[in-house]
């Protein structure tokens, strides 16, 4: 009998990570186009800068632990493609990968903008309406509870 483990084979080579990063950027661009997401402030400029960066030079200087963390964030995005996972990976890249190369110890580099993806206008409007509805529902439930407490068993 042979024990089989479900292991994830991470990629540690700079060339492999470079290709994974290029695939991630193109995938994020496709996701933004599909779902009509918006980019905050100068994020579109930063996304273009990210495309032109030679990521191999950045990944060569990374420790194995940093590469593991990068793989973890990349795997999280590949499992569930959404704004939150993409923003987590972009934040890691901006604060750790790019900052480490500039030796500014976890500070955002000034020379490149940060990529932040926001939900579409329609999705934001839906979320705002839901927030209003939840508040109204809570208020109505509280009024119902007050009414029942006041009434008690008066009519019985």
Q: Write out pLDDT tens, residues 9-27.
A: 667 788 888 888 899 999 9
Buried b (16+ CB within 10 A) or exposed e, 99-111: bbeeeeeeeebee
Pair 126, 52 in one domain: no
Pair 26, 96 in one domain: yes
The answer to whether residue 97 is domain-embedded is yes
Domain that holds residue 24: 14-119
Pair 68, 135 in one domain: no
pLDDT band at 106 (very low <50, low <70, confident <90, very high): very low
Contact between 74 and 12 (Cβ < 8 Å): no
Residue 7: what pLDDT?
Answer: 59
Pair 88, 58 in one domain: yes
Residue 139 has pLDDT above 80, yes or no: yes
Distance CA 113, CA 82 (A): 21
Total tally of structural domains belonging to the chain: 2
Pair 105, 124 in one domain: no
Distance CA 66, CA 59 (A): 9
**What does the pLDDT look like over 43-102, one tens digit per residue?**
888 888 888 888 888 888 888 888 889 989 998 998 999 999 999 999 998 888 887 665
């Amino acid at each position: 009998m042979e024990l089989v483990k479900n292991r994830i084979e991470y990629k540690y080579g700079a060339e492999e990570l470079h290709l994974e990063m290029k695939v991630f950027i193109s995938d994020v661009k496709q996701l933004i186009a599909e779902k009509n997401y918006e980019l905050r402030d100068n994020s579109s400029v930063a996304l273009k800068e990210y495309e032109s960066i030679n990521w191999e030079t950045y990944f060569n200087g990374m420790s194995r632990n940093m590469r593991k963390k990068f793989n973890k964030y990349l795997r999280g995005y590949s499992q569930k493609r959404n704004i939150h996972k993409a923003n987590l990976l972009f934040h890691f890249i901006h604060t750790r990968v790019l900052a480490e190369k500039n030796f500014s110890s976890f500070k955002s580099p000034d020379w490149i903008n940060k990529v932040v993806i926001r939900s579409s206008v329609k999705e934001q409007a839906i979320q705002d309406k839901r927030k209003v509805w939840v508040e109204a529902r809570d208020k109505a439930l509280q009024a119902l509870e007050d009414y029942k407490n006041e009434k008690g068993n008066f009519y019985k």
